[in-house]
Amino acid sequence: MALHNVVLPNEDSRQLLPIPKKEAKLYMSFMYVAFISLFIGGLMGLLQVLVRSGNFTLPFGIGYYQILTVHGVILALVLTTFFIIGFQFALMSKTVGMSDKQRNLSWLAFWIMTIGTIMTAITILLGKASVLYTFYAPLKAHPAFYIGLAFVIVGTWVAAFVNWRQLYLWKKKHPGEKSPLLAFMVTINMIMWFIASLGIAVAVLVQFIPWSLGYAETINVLVSRTLFWYFGHPLVYFWLLPAYMAWYAIIPKIIGGKLFSDSLARLSFVLFLFFSIPVGFHHQLTEPGIDPTWKFIQVVLTFMVIIPSLMTAFSLFATFEITGRRKGYGGLFGWFKHLPWKDVRFFAPFVGMLAFIPGGAGGIINASHQMNTLVHNTIWVTGHFHLTVATTVILTFFGITYWLIPHLTGRKLTKSVNRLGIIQTIVWGIGMLIMSGAMHIQGLLGGPRRSDYSEYGGTEQAVTWGAYQMAQAIGGTILFVGIILMVYIFIKLAFFSPKGDEEFPIAEEEENAEPTPMWMENWKLWVAITIALILFAYTIPFVDIIQNSPPGSVPFDWPIGNS
């Protein structure tokens, strides 16, 4: 530590710290919750596709919307958040370190999140909160559902403060140096998450909890939905950015290459911070009561996110090509062959990247107002996010799992688990191709999402959906096999693989890389621009929404909320 060289600003970010056993236990705790969630959520997914095929009825009076709520909450909110927070802690520990005090606080974060999760889960399982993961008013769940969610969010805030503190202390010890790339990225993601989750915290604390407890008679529905989507879009970037961390800073190491550009990676993260939050209206394009001008402005801001997305794509292709050419593969696409196709740490995230091509294209379609009217609330949307979150993000997280779990448990990723992982990835890819493909088509034919099996009174249009619902059942069943495989792999890596040292792969910069400009570290400026953009995009329409609201709504705990 005392030896660091002042001359080379790039030097320090390369020093990787060991992860002590005590910390490994903490990170593994997050992973246990994540993989238990994967199993439960996947089981619900299987039940959903079976029900929707028309060939299966849920036993014991369990409702379709009850299992759909379990599926959405436990996969989109619990699995993702626990995996991300655990993974990010590991990244911080590796690059900037963690003190004992920080570790204790992190345990506190873990327990607050876990208690909240258990509260929410029990409420849903008892059938007291079949309100789906978006919990739109005026559907009313049991108050414990909202209180549990509030706990989860507060827990993530504790984690965010710890992460910021970790970087702050490191910077104090290393004056004038740029922060390690991965620590920079984690900090950006947690700033975005914190600012975004304030919206949902306000909705839950000010609106939902008093209303569900009966203290407030009515709720302003449009305000609650607007606050939800102020949070809901950055939520998807909160999932995606940790995958990008792996793509930018870990995958190059796995394929035997170097970081393509430290500055480009940082700049793209800063742009994601700017353009992830002031865009929630693109989920509310069909919402009456929001001025179309402001919808248009937020759609324009949404499209800005294409810039860092294509920067990311460019950077990845360039990493692959440069590495391949360096290894002597010539020709226009010869470099493609060098990629380590048999290494699941690469292969799983790579399939995730592939899925992001149609996923991203679909996203641009969704955000275009005209076409949103075509796909809004259809199962196309479900097909879209099973590509983005349930394939791109999840396969990248699986790719991380293969080395992170053995690294934390002091074991090895064996050849046989690696092979099983390749099979898992292929199974997932095929299952998703079928399920998501069928969802996209059925959606274009008008098939609704969030729908129990129905023949819709025998209308002709509904008849055209049958084959696609059947295809979803087939794809979904294949996916469930993928989930079983992955849970098996996780257990194997956590408890039964042979002891050893598994590498924590972090890419290095080129020897002759251009130095990263120090203005990248201008945190105050980044936060100020982010807030300015949010205020610009939301202030006027939000005041308008409040001033011109229709009367609020009393709670409805039927037909599906809490009955």
Partner 1 sequence: MKQHGKTHTNVDKEPNLKGTLISVGVLGLFIIISWVAVFAIFLSR
Residues labelled as active-site residues: 233, 237, 384-386, 449-450
132 binds ligand HEM (CB under 6 A): yes
C-alpha dist (Å) from residue 129 to 69, 141, 554? 8, 4, 17
- Structure tokens, 384: 């879209």
CB atoms within 10 A of CB 477: 18
- Kindly state the smallest distance separating residue 282's Cβ from ligand HEM, in Å: 17
C-alpha–C-alpha distance, residues 105 and 311, integer Å: 36
Residue among 57 and 373 whose Cβ is closer to partner 1: 373
Residue among 72 and 358 whose Cβ is closer to partner 1: 358
522 binds partner 1 (CB under 8 A): no
C-beta nearest to ligand HEM: residue: 45
Cα dihedral 376/377/379/381 (nearest 10): 50
76 binds ligand HEM (CB under 6 A): yes
C-alpha–C-alpha distance, residues 250 and 231, integer Å: 28
Q: Tell me whether residue 84 is exposed, middle or buried, using C-beta atoms within 10 angstroms of its C-beta: 0 to 12, 13 to 18, 19 or more.
A: buried
Q: Which among 30-38, 93-101, 490-498, 511-519 is the span making contact with partner 1, rule CB under 8 A?
A: 511-519
233 binds, among Cu ion, ligand HEM, partner 1, none (CB under 5 to 8 A by kind): Cu ion
Q: Are 117 and 63 in contact (CB under 8 A)?
A: no
Chain-centroid distance of CA 293 in Å reads 30
Chain-centroid distance of CA 453 in Å reads 28
Maximal CA-CA distance, the chain = 76
459 binds partner 1 (CB under 8 A): no
Q: Which among 16-24, 53-61, 72-80, 167-175 is the span making contact with ligand HEM, rule CB under 6 A?
A: 72-80
322 binds partner 1 (CB under 8 A): yes
Determine which residue in the list 287, 450, 484, 529 makes contact with ligand HEM, applying CB under 6 A: 450
Residue among 238 and 542 whose Cβ is closer to ligand HEM: 238
321 binds partner 1 (CB under 8 A): yes
User: Which residues in 454-473 contact ligand HEM (CB under 6 A)?
Assistant: 472
Q: Tell me whether residue 416 is exposed, middle or buried, using C-beta atoms within 10 angstroms of its C-beta: 0 to 12, 13 to 18, 19 or more.
A: exposed
- Kindly state the smallest distance separating residue 269's Cβ from Cu ion, in Å: 18
Q: Are 371 and 380 in contact (CB under 8 A)?
A: no
Q: Are 537 and 42 in contact (CB under 8 A)?
A: no
Residue among 247 and 480 whose Cβ is closer to ligand HEM: 480
| CA neighbor of 396 nearest in space, from 435, 355, 361, 362 | 355
376 binds ligand HEM (CB under 6 A): no
449 binds ligand HEM (CB under 6 A): yes
- Kindly state the smallest distance separating residue 135's Cβ from ligand HEM, in Å: 10
Residue among 358 and 406 whose Cβ is closer to partner 1: 358
Q: Is 455 helix (H, G, I), strand (E, B) or coil?
A: coil
Q: Are 269 and 241 in contact (CB under 8 A)?
A: yes
C-alpha–C-alpha distance, residues 197 and 472, integer Å: 33
What kind and span of H or E run contains 312?
A: helix 306-326
C-alpha–C-alpha distance, residues 160 and 163, integer Å: 5
CB atoms within 10 A of CB 547: 7
449 binds, among partner 1, Cu ion, ligand HEM, none (CB under 5 to 8 A by kind): ligand HEM
User: Which residues in 491-520 contact ligand HEM (CB under 6 A)?
Assistant: none
72 binds ligand HEM (CB under 6 A): yes
- Structure tokens, 534: 């949010």
- Kindly state the smallest distance separating residue 363's Cβ from Cu ion, in Å: 7
231 binds ligand HEM (CB under 6 A): no
C-alpha–C-alpha distance, residues 537 and 172, integer Å: 35
389 binds ligand HEM (CB under 6 A): yes
Site string for ligand HEM, 25-44 (x = CB under 6 A): -----------------x--
Pure H helices in 389-465: 394-409, 415-444, 460-463
C-beta nearest to Cu ion: residue: 233
How many residues are given for the chain?
563
Q: Which among 94-102, 236-244, 360-368, 429-437 is the span making contact with partner 1, rule CB under 8 A?
A: 360-368
Residues that bind Cu ion (CB under 5 A): 233
C-alpha–C-alpha distance, residues 438 and 51, integer Å: 16
User: Which residues in 98-157 contact partner 1 (CB under 8 A)?
Assistant: none
45 binds ligand HEM (CB under 6 A): yes
Determine which residue in the list 169, 364, 433, 470 makes contact with partner 1, applying CB under 8 A: 364
167 binds ligand HEM (CB under 6 A): no
- Kindly state the smallest distance separating residue 339's Cβ from partner 1, in Å: 12
C-alpha dist (Å) from residue 223 to 120, 134, 233, 407, 439? 23, 14, 16, 45, 30
C-alpha–C-alpha distance, residues 221 and 227, integer Å: 10
423 binds partner 1 (CB under 8 A): no
- Kindly state the smallest distance separating residue 475's Cβ from ligand HEM, in Å: 7
Could you tell me which residues are beta bridge partners of residue 448? 378
**Which residues here bind ligand HEM, judged by CB under 6 A?**
42, 45-46, 48-49, 68, 71-72, 75-76, 79, 132-133, 382, 386, 389-390, 394, 449-451, 472, 476, 479-480, 483
**Which residues here bind partner 1, judged by CB under 8 A?**
7-8, 310, 313-314, 317-318, 320-322, 325, 332-333, 335-336, 357-358, 360-362, 364-365, 368, 370-371, 373-375, 444, 512-515
